[in-house]
Amino acid sequence: MSDDFMLDTDDLERRMDGAIANLRVEFASLRTGRASGSMLEPVMVDAYGTMTPINQVGTVNVPEPRMVTINVWDKALVSKVEKAILNSGLGINPQLNGTIIMLPIPELNEERRRDLTKVAGDYAERARVSVRNLRRDGMDQIKKAKSDGLSEDDQKFWESTVQDMTNAYIKKVDETLETKQAEIMQV
């Protein structure tokens, strides 16, 4: 078996790319002073006993640069959507108008910008943890192959490959975070 072991680096790379893609989606939800429908993507609403993305309980629109509206399809869910927005940490106070929820986007002050950079840092840390977990999965596969007869030289080679890949993806997370923090702090 020792000569047959091939670590699926393509799978590891694909999964690490997924962690970076997820980070970018989370970063898109952080507002930088302009209204965007994507800022509501991570908001989940308790609809009929199931946590549901906000865009599946209503239509999200951006009618003005500083306004997002949500036209909730079911009148019974309006209060739950409002509660989900208040609890999301976006720092936006919803205004109700029947089944339409209006979200005026206030100017970002310095304190709120710092808070958003901290949230961005938390998102980045979750992405780093995700990448490290994938590293651990790869290392576990190598250890299993070692117990099945993988040579020590091959083990070192594969461990080095996985570590290099992990370092590259952690660097991508850090670069993405720096870019987002600079965007948030820009006045």
Q: What is the CATH number of the domain that holds 118?
A: 1.10.132.20
pLDDT of residue 43: 85
**CA 68-123-60 angle, 5° bins:** 15
pLDDT of residue 32: 65
d(CA 175, CA 51): 32
pLDDT of residue 29: 73
H helix and E strand count, the chain:
4, 6
pLDDT of residue 2: 44
Q: What are the residues whose beta carbons fall under 8 Å from the beta carbon of 176, sequence distance 6 or more?
A: 20, 23, 24, 27, 124
Same domain for 121 and 94: no
d(CA 137, CA 135): 5
Domain limits at 178? 9-26+109-185
* Pairing label, strands 44-47, 50-53: antiparallel
Would you say 39 and 28 are in contact if contact means Cβ atoms under 8 Å apart? yes
pLDDT of residue 137: 93
- The string of pLDDT tens digits covering residues 129-154 is 999 999 999 999 999 988 888 889 99
Provide the residue count of the chain: 187
**Residue 100's beta-bridge partner residues?**
71, 97
Question: Could you say which residues of the chain have pLDDT below 50?
Answer: 1-2
Q: Is 3 a member of any domain?
A: no
pLDDT of residue 132: 95
pLDDT of residue 1: 40
Domain count for the chain? 2
pLDDT of residue 166: 95
Write down which residue in 80, 104, 128 finishes a domain.
Answer: 104
